[in-house]
Structure 1
Amino acid sequence: MPRFTIGSSLKMYFGHRQQLEWTRRVAEIASTHPAVQQDVVEPFVIPTFPSIGAVRDLAAPGGLLVGAQDVHWEDAGAYTGEVSAAELAEVGVRLVEIGHAERRSMFGETDSTAALKVRATLRHGLVPVLCIGEEERGEHGPAVHACLRQLEACLAAARRDGTGGRVIVAYEPVWAIGRSDPAPDTHIRAVTSALRAHLADDPLVQEPRVIYGGSAGPGLLTRIAPDVDGMFLGRFAHDPAAFRDILDEAWEIGSGDDSSAF
């Protein structure tokens, strides 16, 4: 596995043409960047549903995996406006974002519905990007407890069925989303290290990754790298040059790593 998994959810910030232009520029950067070409970074992009097909084609030369921003837990049926994991797999999606704080606050997503979506995603060979994070700012200990509880709640349906696979956990403290700065470095590292340790020998979760989101941007990876497997970027990566800067950081860290230490 590459040392880092780094990518961005474009949410609903861009229209179709803007998403294509962003993807084109980032793919051009990734296609020649040593961090990607020498497998230090696994890059990804998560566009809106209508842009998935075009983004997939533009992302391919840069090696970017393409994700979807949501999924339904059933494979077919009378679910107006929803998209199944089966269809997402059919059109070349590799990742599925599940349980983001905005989905929870705006649309009633719960740990129970997230768990059903994780199971459906794994069942079809896709990789859930499972978003978890405590709501209120506080000390490391309670944050770790809250995140581990949420993680297990969101894996519960898959555990019941024995549906395993690769999982990316995106730690996004809710109180840090949309702020000018991310959570403090020490806080991030305490929570992500606990999540990594929890998943390290989990028979259900293959190749677990714990990445950080929540106002993540250039300059952060260098400070938290020992305890994370990458970053989940939002608006701070809207300029493709910022994405390149983060790849530069990853290359500087990863090219000097002793891979046996991870």
Structure 2
Amino acid sequence: MLSGRAPARWIGTSFKMTKTRAEAVAFARTLREALGPDGVPGVRPFVLPPATALAEVAAALGPGSPVLAGAQNAHWEDAGPWTGEISVPQAADAGARIVEIGHSERRAHFGETDATVRLKVASALRHGLIPLVCCGEEAGVHARGDSAAHVLAQVAAALDGVEDATRVLIAYEPVWAIGERGREPHPGEIADVVAALRDAHGSRVGGILYGGSVTERNAAALLGVDGVDGLFVGRAAWRIEGFLALLATAASARVTAS
């Protein structure tokens, strides 16, 4: 159970639509062997494989693993005629302990809206999973200086009706910074939005993560932004060596901060 601001740094990755079952399981097994049963002190890792590999990745990590396995998406209904979807109970049955909700790619290509994000958050909480709520602004919004207002509106909609948000994680991922064509941000470019999220929700949610063009080189600086409780990483964490390096950076950053 999360309680207020997370005491540990969160470091996680979504494999998106990459990795076969064998590749995802090999990653999980190597991670389990590298971290052992106790993991990295002060760091909470999570991995979101494709749905085809979720159950096998969760099994490879093992029961009681310090690494959370999770789903990249889930429907808000528990069951029904929703061809091609998986429900939160089904994700949990496959071993998920966390579920990503509202990624900008889901919004742009699959019709995800603030309303469906809210429904999915409610479903995840109802079934005991950690909702990882993604938010972020397009380049035009950023250029106009409206980033904080845009992101706060997304998060307010996602948490509408949620009385206890201590299990919710917020992942701030500016759309202009994510993906192969994303632009690496300067820490100062994200500081105002993170500060706004911290002021509005920091005492209420389990943590505020940053994602978007995160690399081994800039991870420490991004973790150093006041209010950032962890990183949600893409390509830099898809190789086990990169993921382990990011975990080490987070552990070092936490020691330095304390």
TM-score (norm 2): 0.88
CA distance in 2, matches of 1:52, 1:249: 26
2:232 aligns to what SS in structure 1? strand
Over the matched positions of the two proteins, sequence identity in percent amounts to: 39
CA distance in 2, matches of 1:31, 1:180: 34
Task: State the AA in 2 paired with 1:184.
Answer: H
1:99 Cα deviation from its structure 2 partner: 0.5
1:90 Cα deviation from its structure 2 partner: 2.8
CA distance in 2, matches of 1:75, 1:213: 29
Per-residue CA deviation, residues 26-61 of structure 1 (Å, 9 max, x unaligned), is 2323228x8x342x1000000111211110022237
Residue 157 (structure 2) pairs with residue 146 (structure 1): no
In structure 2, the partner of 1:18 is: 23
Distance change >3 Å, CA 29–CA 194, structure 1 → 2: farther
CA distance in 2, matches of 1:221, 1:3: 16
Give the alignment of 1:12-161 within 5 angstroms: 12-31=17-36, 36-38=39-41, 40-60=42-62, 63-136=66-139, 138=142, 141-156=145-160, 158-159=161-162
- The answer to whether the 8 Å contact 2:14/2:49 transfers is yes
Task: State the AA in 1 paired with 2:257.
Answer: D
In structure 2, the partner of 1:195 is: 197
CA distance in 1, matches of 2:56, 2:95: 11
In structure 1, the partner of 2:3 is: none
1:200 Cα deviation from its structure 2 partner: 2.7
Task: State the AA in 2 paired with 1:150.
Answer: Q
1:21 Cα deviation from its structure 2 partner: 1.5
CA distance in 1, matches of 2:78, 2:242: 37
Give the alignment of 1:245-256 within 5 angstroms: 245-256=245-256
1:251 Cα deviation from its structure 2 partner: 1.8
Q: Which moved more, 1:226-235 or 1:93-102?
A: 226-235
CA distance in 1, matches of 2:126, 2:84: 21
Distance change >3 Å, CA 62–CA 127, structure 1 → 2: closer
Q: Which moved more, 1:21-30 or 1:109-118?
A: 21-30
Structure 1 residue ranges (4+ consecutive) displaced by more than 4 angstroms after TM superposition: none
1:221 Cα deviation from its structure 2 partner: 2.6
Q: 1:217 aligns with which of 198, 212, 215?
A: 215
Greater helix content: 1
Name stretches of at least 5 consecutive residues in structure 1 with no aligned partner: none
CA distance in 1, matches of 2:182, 2:154: 26
1:12 aligns to what SS in structure 2? coil
What is the aligned length? 248
In structure 1, the partner of 2:169 is: 168
1:62 Cα deviation from its structure 2 partner: 5.4
CA distance in 2, matches of 1:201, 1:65: 23
In structure 1, the partner of 2:187 is: 185
- The answer to whether the 8 Å contact 1:125/1:165 transfers is no
1:131 aligns to what SS in structure 2? strand
CA distance in 1, matches of 2:174, 2:49: 22
CA distance in 2, matches of 1:164, 1:251: 26
- The answer to whether the 8 Å contact 1:140/1:191 transfers is no
Task: State the AA in 2 paired with 1:238.
Answer: W
Per-residue CA deviation, residues 152-211 of structure 1 (Å, 9 max, x unaligned), is 01112x33xx46441111110011111364222111222112212211333xx4xx2111
1:219 Cα deviation from its structure 2 partner: 2.4
